[in-house]
Structure 1
């Protein structure tokens, strides 16, 4: 009879080295999924493929996420929630300054993600229920843009243009082989937002 100390470990060891040695298993799954969604496409990526990329069993992936939709929803929310939270800290600034600061920060969030997950905003699946929270948060961020633009003397349409201008870096990441340094691009987009507003 074997002793407790000689019992076999539960589960199967990972195949290969870890993707992100300092990350949790959940973070590794999100990173692998983001890479696959951005490079292969959402429809062409299965949970089995994500698990294989991480080096875990598919059953282990399901311990962290119920399905592929839940993984994508969390990734999408991570592209808007930081900016929405940051916007709440700008109330003491003038509207134009707050708008400039928000655009600068928002562009930074979209550029900092290792994988360009924003290219999936236009997927038809995003209109379905699993992505309702993402849609609400993105619309709330859009409303902040409109509100700050209006408070700075601009129109609602200008607010939409500025929101689109910030998100335009998603297309730049997709289409351009090289981008300017992140801080230079953040400055350029934030300054362009104020020019649209007529405040610079």
Structure 2
């Protein structure tokens, strides 16, 4: 491995590449170390458990393969989520790894993710009279319904494609946003017009 290279990132990129040929459970720490040019111990130092490795690979995949398109408004968020569902359909093996990682116990920081903070900020801008706790609750709901985990459940449980999953997402988002306390009738009309 070249000097100055970020070892954890290289390990994660090699793990993601290995997913093209093997299921996650068949990827060994030894094979990752060999592919990266480090010892198996080094891989363990950066990812002490399989859960840490899975979470890391999923994060790497989400940021490189499935980045959420930028958004500021609620209609832009809806469109970004639909685009992401299409990306999940295009690379289902990677999307299922992200969904699996979301279903394990968290190993990372208890801080809200960047995605959650962006959703809260977007909601606070659109619904300034709603309290912070409700904004975080709605943001968490929207985050789940825009996730690989939701996509995987709809894909495997109901054999839905990205457009159909996007329709379910739209109905759910409309319901959740429509139930916000302090939402005016003008806000609801704008939501219906955009969706």
Equivalent in the alignment of 1:179: 159
Deviation for aligned residue 1:114: 3.2
TM-score (structure 2 length as normaliser): 0.56
Q: Distance between the aligned counterparts of 1:46 and 1:36, measured in 2?
A: 11
Matches within 5 A, 1:1-200: 29-33=15-19, 35-37=22-24, 40=25, 46-48=28-30, 51=31, 60-63=34-37, 66-67=42-43, 69=47, 72-81=54-63, 86-87=69-70, 90-91=71-72, 95-115=73-93, 116-117=96-97, 118-124=99-105, 126-127=106-107, 131=108, 139-153=113-127, 155-156=134-135, 157-167=137-147, 168-173=150-155, 175-176=156-157, 179-198=159-178, 199-200=191-192
**Structure 1 gap ranges (5+):** 1-25, 52-57
TM-score (structure 1 length as normaliser): 0.55
Query: CA 1:171/1:158 → structure 2, altered by over 3 Å: closer, same or farther?
Result: same
Q: Distance between the aligned counterparts of 1:28 and 1:114, measured in 2?
A: 18
Deviation for aligned residue 1:189: 1.4
Number of residue pairs matched by the alignment: 149
**Structure 2 gap ranges (5+):** 1-11, 179-190
Query: CA 1:99/1:160 → structure 2, altered by over 3 Å: closer, same or farther?
Result: same
1 or 2 for the larger relative contact order (CA 8 Å, sep ≥6)?
A: 1
Deviation for aligned residue 1:139: 0.6
